[in-house]
Chain A
Amino acid sequence: MATVDLKLAEWALGEAAKHGATAAEVLCISAESLGAGVRLGEVEKLKHSRERRLGLRVFTGQSSATASTAELERDSLADFIANTVTLARLTSPDPWSGLPDPALHPKSFPELGLVDPEQGMVSADEALTIARTAERAALGRDPRIKNSEGAEFSSGRYQVMFLNSQGFSGEYAGTSFSLVAAPIAQDGDSMQQGFWHTSNRRFSRLEDAESVGKTAADRALRRLGARKIKTRHAPVVFDPDMAAGLIRTIAGAASGPSLYKGASFLINKLGERIASPTVTVIDDALMPGGLGSKPFDGEGLATNSKKLVDGGTLATYLLDCYSARKLKLAPTGNASRGVGEAPSVSTTNLHLEIGKYTPEQIIGSVKEGLYLTEIIGMGVNLVTGDYSRGAGGIWIENGELAYPVQEITIAGNLKEMLQAVEMVGNDLRWRSSTASPTLKISEMTIAGA
């Protein structure tokens, strides 16, 4: 993999100082990936990528600018750095800007198992074989699986190096592997796609290809014959993927930038009950091998594990240094950093703590309601908490999954929805950096015919 050497990064910091920067950060990211896809048994695509970028944030006093470039030869980099310092000078001084308190930089980093020790990049041939296995399992599942959007396997590795002018320097590398399958079921006029994926930092811990294909097929098949229902109020059971989306929304509203801009329904709610006591949300950057794990955050602060919501009470906000200063709080190690962007806030491994019910018990508790398996659209207003999304799923009658439904919406307000979380499942599985068990909200508006 093409890497950026430490010497070049250190030289860039020196150049920034030479041009008058009072402080600076350099972030280098290099990445390589190989993906291969099949469709209806035939090779459909191969994609190979390599990228290497350098990001820079410079300060002239309280003014700052960020910049990124792919031109890493020293000559063009020197011009680029000089231009960035000029850009900072043209920016308004901001009393809250600046590097972190140097005392907050960790002296050592935890080992988080981000790299697969056994498997490097997966070759195109092997990737195709895995994708074929998954798709074949999907196509063979049922005669109504008649078409496919294919299956794709990809592997990648990356390296992150971050240093600043007050002596912080750290780097880490990671690997990732993923497999997705998207078969299509058809029965008469009804055509539905199913989708399933697995991803992990370790190749050997991926869900088996055949099972990915079968699950994707089952998810397509169970949508066949979906109908619209009449508008009503009813309980909604979020399946784990849909529940994870809801948890992500809470984190978005608890993020520093949303808060100081006045764009969150969680302003001034720290320490207050924002959800039912069954809701505990954890953000854990230190989970071994976690897809969202990292040894330090986007500003070089130590990462950690913490409860965002503790038994229904909002226990912390998620803050980078800038939003922490604005809100007069301490940074929480949640700074994220795109190569060309100023730090922002992100979660690491975010999840809802498991509850005591099996998914069957949760569904069994509903006389009439929706088992939610799909959401489309972005209809969430974080400022007010108003929530209105396109939905699809399976209608529950007398505690049993009865028939598929579609072309409906679910609506409510997040403030009330979180208080109305009535049951939490015990079925937490990690397939991305946010995860949740099944959860039930006691009532929402479902709009249909």
Chain B
Amino acid sequence: MSNELISPDKFFLNRFGMNENSLERILGTALERKADYADLYFEYRSAEGIALEESMVNHTSKSVSHGVGVRVCAQDRTGYAYSDEVTIDRMRLAAEAARAIADQRAAAPGAIQVGGRVASHNLYELETTPLEIPLEDRAKLLAEIDRVARAYDPRVKNVMASIAAERKLVMVVTSEGKIAADIQPLCRLNVSVIADDGKIRQIGSYGGGGRVEYRHFLEEERWKQYALEAARQAITNLDADDAPAGEMIVVLGPGWPGILLHEAIGHGLEGDFNRKGVSAFSNRIGQKVASELCTVIDDGTIKNRRGSLNVDDEGTPTSRTVLIEKGILRGYLQDRMNARLMKMAPTGNGRRESFAHSPMPRMTNTFMLAGESAPEDIIKSVDHGLYAVNFGGGQVDITNGKFVFSASEAYLIEGGRVTRPVKGATLIGNGPDVLTRVTMVGNDLALDAGVGTCGKDGQSVPVGVGLPTIRVDGITVGGTRG
């Protein structure tokens, strides 16, 4: 174990009986045709899950998966083959399958020399990964969460809590001869509470995590905050009225409501969609796409965050990318292929779910910089509107720019005051337009607690979002009270 932690690249070479020479031969096979570059992605992932329901810690699970993916890129073409049998033979077959994408070449390719290491960040070096914490301790914590959530209110009828922990070792070997290796810990704690007052049943959910030590949950009694927050949401929603329907002023609370940026802006700025010209943001760099109060960043280099990575999944160190600066569209999120085809620099956003997937441009942690307004003043400024503080998921249609995100906790604002809770509702808007309607930005930027997962083309990756309180003048709220 400790050896693996010191040197993930040695771990792979030892475990699967390979050396630099065998990697060179496989890459040579991959590049036999007219390709621009090739890479090998090795992954070894261990994960454990433990869950409580009905006051019993009755679910435990663990998994070990490993595999290798071979990718060959030629212009805008990608050949990808993977196998969960990591042997030289399988890799050679995979390389032969992947290179079929490229045309035949006349001259033999130059020799590849594997050796140089990529200098990466050090964003989540953990003394102990959560996987090393005894299962009994994790079970005790879940039992405490159950107790605290039930004690919050007699109307709490069921508590579901789970801890998921994983450790992923990855190694990327590129045809430039570079090796990038990383150990990526990740864990999250989730709590869902069902409340029932005899007439209505409601649910509340909260959680957090990141690339953190297990004690993250114990510090500041975060576990307790999660339990109380889930219970509070469920109880609050018991009294919720029907949500309004139609376009209105919406104030978004800090933190997780940043999912707005993820859906409305982030996806539309991913390099692949823009290279192909299929995004509502295509060819709009330098144009005004937001009010000048808005500066939006994607930053994969924040310590211990769920969306952070030392290197992305093609061996590029992650970075901080300004997407929108004072309302002006500045940049795209790039992987290697799309950066090269668009003659831009890779931004360290080439990510993949696992060895079974080819990388593509993805977000890391996406957030808006703080502004100057006090959150109270933002609420006070609204005569009639919606104050939405917690959200479920969202989705976007890249091509026409329409996006949704669904509120799970929201209130009416009446005469400058937050009044009654209303039921969850989906909010729908237009990506290139919604931020132009931002009229106030709070001084209270918060990042989410660390539970986000983003899906694209069938691949899920962990991400983060963040937002200060903002006022949006006109977004359609999908309630029932029209």
Chain A contact residues, CB within 8 Å of chain B: 2, 39, 42-53, 63-71, 80, 83-84, 87-88, 90-92, 94, 97, 124, 147, 149, 184, 190-193, 223, 226, 228, 231-233, 261-263, 267, 340-342, 374, 376-379, 381, 383-384, 386, 388-390, 392, 406-413, 445-449
Contacts and interface: CB of A to CB of B under 8 A. Distances in A.
List the 9 shortest-distance A-B pairs measured between CB atoms, nearest first.
A409-B478, A390-B404, A377-B404, A447-B245, A379-B426, A231-B246, A48-B81, A94-B58, A379-B406
A356 to B, nearest CB: 30
A262 B201 contact: yes
A106 to B, nearest CB: 27
Contact of B64 (A39, A68, A386): A68
Nearest to A382: B203
Contact of A386 (B62, B398, B423): B423
A192 B399 contact: yes
Contacts of B246: 231, 447-449
Nearest to A71: B64
Contacts of A51: 67, 83-84, 356
A147 B243 CA distance: 39
B400 A191 contact: yes
Given A51-B83, A92-B56, 9 more contacts: A53-B65, A69-B64, A70-B66, A70-B67, A84-B62, A383-B194, A388-B426, A413-B480, A447-B476
Contacts of B65: 53, 68-70
Interface of B: 53, 56-67, 76-85, 94, 97-98, 100-101, 135-136, 139, 157-158, 160, 192, 194, 196, 200-203, 243, 245-247, 276-278, 280, 356, 358, 392-400, 402-406, 423-426, 428-430, 476-482
Contact of B399 (A66, A90, A191, A386): A191
B395 A378 contact: yes
Contacts, number: 255
A231 B482 contact: yes
29 contacts: A44-B77, A45-B77, A45-B78, A46-B98, A48-B80, A53-B65, A65-B61, A67-B61, A70-B64, A80-B64, A149-B276, A184-B278, A190-B400, A191-B278, A262-B201, A263-B192, A376-B396, A376-B397, A376-B404, A378-B393, A390-B404, A392-B397, A408-B428, A409-B245, A409-B428, A411-B480, A412-B480, A449-B247, A449-B476
A88 B61 CA distance: 9
Nearest to A65: B60
A83 B203 CA distance: 35
A233 B478 CA distance: 12
A69 B63 contact: yes
Nearest to B53: A261
A92 B139 CA distance: 9
Nearest to B76: A44
A449 B100 CA distance: 51
A119 to B, nearest CB: 20
A110 B46 CA distance: 38
A147 B396 CA distance: 19
A340 B245 contact: no
A223 B401 CA distance: 13
Contacts of A191: 278, 280, 399-400
A91 B59 contact: yes
B200 A410 contact: no
A71 B66 contact: yes
A184 B399 contact: yes
A53 B67 CA distance: 11
Contacts of B135: 87, 90
B400 A406 contact: yes
Contact of B425 (A94, A223, A379): A379
Nearest to B136: A90
A261 B160 contact: yes
A79 B329 CA distance: 54
Residue of A63, A91, A184 with highest tally of chain B CB at under 10 A: A91
Nearest to A262: B194
A150 B429 CA distance: 27
Contacts of B196: 262
B126 to A, nearest CB: 22
Between A45, A47, A263, the greatest number of chain B beta carbons within 10 A of the residue's beta carbon is seen for A47
Nearest to A35: B80
B97 A48 contact: yes
